[in-house]
Amino acid sequence: MRIDKYLKVARILKRREVGKQLALNERLFINDRVAKPSSEVKAGDIVKIIFGHREITIRVKEIRDSASKEQAFEMYEVLEEKKREIIV
């Protein structure tokens, strides 16, 4: 499954377009490699997402084409979540 679609189905992001923009700005990584919006993600992959001042690292547990709110939380495991310092 494409990473931008996975992030939406897993309800990590609200819109697929946001995932696309994160990837295009090199703020989305799969297994420590910069991801493109069309990069494939599979169970066991480690995904790191950088949102402005926040960084979250997850492990993909399963792939589903659609998921309810309860099922979405079963699709991944949060490994690390931290705040980044923004230097102006």
What fold characterizes domain 3-83?
Answer: 3.10.290
Band (pLDDT 50/70/90 cuts) for residue 11 is: very high
Instruction: Grade residue 75 by pLDDT with cuts at 50, 70 and 90.
Output: very high
- Location of structure tokens 């189905």: 9
Show me where the domains of the chain are located: 3-83
pLDDT of residue 64: 92
- Confidence bin at 88 (pLDDT 50/70/90): low
Instruction: State pTM to two decimals.
Output: 0.88
Q: State the pLDDT confidence band at 33, using cuts at 50, 70 and 90.
A: very high
The pLDDT of residue 41 is 96
